[in-house]
C-alpha cells in the first residue's frame, strides 16, 4: 500500500525511457501501404488516407485545396447533404485537409462501424462528381473568407513572409487570390481528381482499437481501386527569394498593431543540425519560458506572446519568428529579438536552463505518445519525411546530450540577423 505521508520521488522527464510503439505494416493488392497501430482502451478508430495531391502538383493555383474540399460534396448517387447525413448517422466524422505535398481524407469513428463506413469512402474516391452548384458556393465562401482575412495584418504577414522566402510560384510561397479562385473550373477539378485521387499515390495510416479483420476490410474497400503505392515524382520548382530582406507594409492605415515575421532558410529534417536546432529554438522562442517570451513579453511588455519554430516542410524549410506588437514598439521588438540572438551566440546557456528545456521537450514527446492517434501521427510525420524510427531515438539522444557549447556553435551559425528576412505589416 502506498504510504501517502512520504513525498514520492521527483524524476526529471529527461530520465524517462521513451519508446515509440511500433506499427504493423501490410500492403494491399494494388500496392498501397497500410501503417497500423493497435492500441487504446476505447472502441474508436482513426483512418487517414494520405494522397500526394497537395499544391505541389496543381497546374492552377488553389486547385488542390478546392479538389480536396469538394471530394465530399457529391457523387453520382448521393448529394453533399446525404453524404454528411450518412456519416452523422453513425456518429462518425470525415474530414479533409490539403497541405503542400499531400492531402488527406480522415475518418474518426467507433470501430464497430468501420465495415459500414468504408464503402462510402470508396465512393468518394471513385465517383466524386464536383457539382457546379457546390463549386459555385465554394468559390463564393472562399472569396468572402479571403476578403475578411486580408484585413488582418497577421494573415497578410503569413502570406508575404513565405513569398519572400520561396517566391510566389513555389508551392511553399504561393497563396490564395480571388482571381485564382474564380479561374477554377469543374473540368480542372475532375482532371486533378482523376490523376491524383482516383489513380493517385496513397498511403493509409490507421490507429485505435482495430478490428481483427482490419487488413481484409481495407483490402476489400481499397485494394482493387486504381490507386497505388510508391513514391511520387515531384516536379522541380526553383526558389526565387526576395532580394530585399527588410519589408515594411501598411495594410491598414488605421491599424494600431504590427504583425512581425522574421525568417531564414533552414535545412530539412535530414540535416544533422536539425534536432540540435530544435533544442536551440526551444531555448530561443519555442515555449512559454523561452528567452524571447521572457524578454519581449514579460520584461518589455511589447506583446502578449512571441514564438519561434522550424517549419515542418518535407523539402526546404525555414526558421520563423512570429509575433504581433503595438506599431509604435514593433521596431524595438525586432531589436530585442536580435539582442537575444546575440546572447545565444556570445554566451553559453546555463546547465540549469538547459535541463529545464530538456525536461520540457521530453515531456512534450511523452504527451505525443499518449494514445494511438498521437502515436500514428508521429509515425506519419516520420514516414512522410522519408525517415525511420532511428530518427526518433536519435532526436531523444540529442535532446539528452547536447551541450551548451554545441548550442552556442549552432547559434553562431544560424542565428545571424543578416540571414533573416524582416517583415512588419501594420
CATH code at position 35: 3.30.830.10
Average pLDDT value over all residues in the chain: 95
Instruction: Answer yes or no: is 91 within a domain.
Output: yes
CB atoms within 10 A of CB 9: 5
Instruction: Answer yes or no: is 400 within a domain.
Output: yes
Instruction: Answer yes or no: is 13 within a domain.
Output: no
pLDDT given at position 231: 87
Q: Evaluate if pTM is beyond 0.85.
A: yes
Vertex 342: Cα angle to 341 and 345 (nearest 5): 90
Co-location of 274 and 348 in the same domain = yes
Residue in 88, 103, 47, 94 with CA at minimum distance from that of residue 72:
94
Task: Evaluate if residue 359 carries a pLDDT over 90.
Answer: yes
pLDDT given at position 234: 82
User: Average pLDDT in the 235-243 region?
Assistant: 90
Q: How far apart are CA 392 and CA 378, in angstroms?
A: 9
Q: How many domains does the chain have?
A: 2
Q: How far apart are CA 316 and CA 142, in angstroms?
A: 28
Co-location of 110 and 215 in the same domain = yes
In 11-145, at which residue ranges do the beta strands (DSSP E only) sit?
A: 24-27, 33-38, 44-51, 93-98, 103-110
Q: What are phi and psi of 306, to 5 degrees?
A: -145, 135
Q: How far apart are CA 359 and CA 69, in angstroms?
A: 40
Q: Which of 13-27, 116-130, 160-174, 282-296 has the lowest mean pLDDT?
A: 13-27
Co-location of 39 and 146 in the same domain = yes
User: Average pLDDT in the 110-135 region?
Assistant: 96
Co-location of 196 and 251 in the same domain = no
Q: Which one-letter DSSP state was computed for residue 57?
A: G
Co-location of 281 and 213 in the same domain = no
Q: What are phi and psi of 207, to 5 degrees?
A: -150, 160
User: Average pLDDT in the 391-411 region?
Assistant: 96
Q: Which domain holds residue 156?
A: 24-222
Task: Evaluate if residue 15 carries a pLDDT over 80.
Answer: no
pLDDT given at position 164: 96
Co-location of 210 and 276 in the same domain = no
pLDDT given at position 52: 97
Q: How far apart are CA 72 and CA 49, in angstroms?
A: 14
* Residue 406 parent element (H or E): helix 404-414
Compute CA 13 distance to the chain's CA centroid, rounded to the nearest angstrom: 25
Co-location of 259 and 137 in the same domain = no
Instruction: Answer yes or no: is 19 within a domain.
Output: no
Those residues with Cβ within 8 angstroms of residue 160's Cβ, 6 or more apart along the chain or in another chain? 247, 249, 261, 423, 425
Set of cell numbers at residue 164: 519572400
User: Average pLDDT in the 95-119 region?
Assistant: 97
Q: Which one-letter DSSP state was computed for residue 172?
A: T
Residue in 70, 80, 76, 192 with CA at minimum distance from that of residue 135:
70
User: Average pLDDT in the 212-239 region?
Assistant: 92
Give the rounded percent of residues in the chain with a pLDDT score beyond 70. Answer: 100
Co-location of 216 and 272 in the same domain = no
* Residue 93 parent element (H or E): strand 93-98
Task: Evaluate if residue 360 carries a pLDDT over 90.
Answer: yes
Compute CA 415 distance to the chain's CA centroid, rounded to the nearest angstrom: 23
Co-location of 199 and 266 in the same domain = no
Do the strands 246-249 and 421-425 form a parallel or antiparallel pair, or are they unpaired? Answer: parallel
Co-location of 250 and 170 in the same domain = no
Under 8 Å between Cβ of 50 and 75: no
Q: Alpha carbon of 257 to those of 45, 325, 334: distances in Å?
A: 44, 6, 14
Co-location of 209 and 260 in the same domain = no
Co-location of 48 and 114 in the same domain = yes
Instruction: Answer yes or no: is 123 within a domain.
Output: yes
Residue in 261, 356, 337, 331 with CA at minimum distance from that of residue 293:
337
Amino acid at each position: 500500500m502506498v504510504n501517502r505521508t512520504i513525498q514520492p520521488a521527483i524524476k526529471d522527464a529527461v530520465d524517462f525511457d521513451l519508446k515509440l510503439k511500433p506499427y504493423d505494416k501490410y500492403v494491399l493488392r494494388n500496392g498501397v501501404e497500410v501503417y497500423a497501430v493497435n492500441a487504446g482502451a476505447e472502441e474508436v478508430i482513426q483512418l487517414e488516407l494520405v494522397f500526394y495531391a497537395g499544391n505541389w502538383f496543381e497546374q492552377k493555383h488553389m486547385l488542390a485545396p478546392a479538389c480536396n474540399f469538394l471530394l465530399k460534396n457529391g457523387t453520382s448517387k448521393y448529394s453533399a447533404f446525404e453524404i454528411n447525413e450518412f456519416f452523422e448517422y453513425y456518429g462518425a466524422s470525415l474530414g479533409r485537409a490539403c497541405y503542400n505535398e499531400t492531402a488527406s481524407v480522415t475518418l474518426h469513428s467507433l470501430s464497430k462501424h468501420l465495415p459500414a463506413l468504408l464503402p462510402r469512402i470508396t465512393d468518394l474516391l471513385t465517383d466524386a462528381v464536383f457539382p457546379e452548384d457546390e463549386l459555385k458556393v465554394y468559390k463564393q465562401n472562399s472569396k468572402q473568407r479571403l476578403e475578411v482575412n486580408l484585413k488582418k495584418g497577421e494573415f497578410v504577414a503569413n502570406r508575404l513572409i513565405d513569398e519572400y522566402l520561396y517566391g510566389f510560384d513555389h508551392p511553399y510561397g504561393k497563396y490564395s487570390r480571388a482571381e485564382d479562385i474564380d479561374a477554377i473550373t469543374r473540368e480542372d477539378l475532375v482532371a486533378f481528381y482523376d490523376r491524383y485521387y482516383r489513380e493517385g499515390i496513397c498511403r493509409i495510416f490507421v490507429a485505435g482499437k482495430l478490428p481483427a479483420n482490419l487488413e481484409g476490410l481495407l483490402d476489400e474497400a481499397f485494394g482493387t481501386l486504381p490507386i497505388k503505392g510508391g513514391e511520387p515524382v515531384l516536379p522541380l520548382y526553383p526558389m526565387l527569394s526576395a532580394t530585399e530582406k527588410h519589408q515594411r507594409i501598411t495594410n491598414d492605415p488605421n491599424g494600431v498593431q504590427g504583425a512581425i515575421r522574421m525568417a531564414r532558410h533552414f535545412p530539412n529534417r535530414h540535416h544533422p543540425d536539425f534536432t540540435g536546432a530544435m533544442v536551440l529554438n526551444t531555448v530561443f522562442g519555442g515555449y512559454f519560458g523561452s528567452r524571447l517570451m521572457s524578454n519581449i513579453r514579460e520584461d518589455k511588455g511589447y506583446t502578449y506572446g512571441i514564438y519561434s519554430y522550424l517549419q515542418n516542410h518535407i523539402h526546404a524549410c525555414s526558421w520563423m519568428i512570429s509575433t504581433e506588437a503595438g506599431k509604435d514598439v514593433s521596431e524595438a521588438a525586432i531589436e530585442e529579438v536580435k539582442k537575444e540572438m546575440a546572447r545565444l551566440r556570445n554566451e553559453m546557456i546555463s546547465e540549469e536552463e538547459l535541463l529545464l528545456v530538456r525536461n520540457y521537450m521530453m515531456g512534450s514527446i511523452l504527451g505525443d505518445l499518449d494514445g494511438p492517434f498521437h502515436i500514428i501521427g508521429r509515425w506519419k510525420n516520420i514516414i512522410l519525411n522519408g525517415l525511420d524510427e532511428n530518427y526518433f531515438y536519435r532526436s531523444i539522444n540529442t535532446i539528452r546530450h547536447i551541450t551548451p557549447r554545441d548550442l552556442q556553435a549552432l547559434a553562431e551559425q544560424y542565428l545571424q540577423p543578416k540571414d533573416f528576412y524582416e517583415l512588419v505589416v501594420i
